[in-house]
Chains A and B, each alone.
Chain A
Amino acid sequence: GQNIDQPTEMTATEGAIVQINCTYQTSGFNGLFWYQQHAGEAPTFLSYNVLDGLEEKGRFSSFLSRSKGYSYLLLKELQMKDSASYLCAVRDRNTDKLIFGTGTRLQVFP
Chain B
Amino acid sequence: DTAVSQTPKYLVTQMGNDKSIKCEQNLGHDTMYWYKQDSKKFLKIMFSYNNKELIINETVPNRFSPKSPDKAHLNLHINSLELGDSAVYFCASSQDPRGSRADTQYFGPGTRLTVL
- Measured CB to CB, the residues of A under 8 A from B are 30-31, 33, 37, 41-45, 48, 50, 85, 87, 91, 93, 95-100, 102-103, 105
Since A41-B109, A43-B107, A103-B42 are in contact, a sample of 4 more A-B pairs with Cβ atoms closer than 8 Å, ordered by chain A residue number, is A42-B108, A43-B90, A48-B104, A98-B105
B99: CB under 8 A from chain A?
yes
Is A45 a contact partner of B56 (Cβ separation < 8 A)?
A: no
Given A31-B99, A43-B107, A95-B56: A102 and B90 interface contact (C-beta under 8 Å): no
Does B103 lie within 8 Å of A31, measured CB to CB? yes
A100 and B43 contacting across the interface, CB-CB below 8 Å: yes
- Please name all residues of chain B whose beta carbon is closer than 8 Å to the beta carbon of A44 when the two chains form the complex: 107
Interface centre among B42, B43, B98, B106 (most CB of A within 10 A): B43
Interface residues of B (CB under 8 A from A): 4, 40-45, 48, 55-56, 90, 97-99, 101, 103-110
Task: Check if A102 sits within 8 Å of B41, measured CB to CB.
Answer: yes
Could you list 22 examples of A-B contacts with CB < 8 Å?
A31-B103, A33-B104, A37-B41, A41-B109, A41-B110, A42-B4, A44-B107, A45-B104, A45-B106, A48-B101, A48-B104, A91-B103, A95-B56, A96-B48, A96-B56, A96-B99, A97-B45, A97-B48, A100-B42, A102-B40, A103-B42, A103-B43
Interfacial chain A residues near B106, Cβ < 8 Å: 45
Min Cβ gap B3→A in Å is: 10
The residue on B at minimum CB distance from A44 is B107
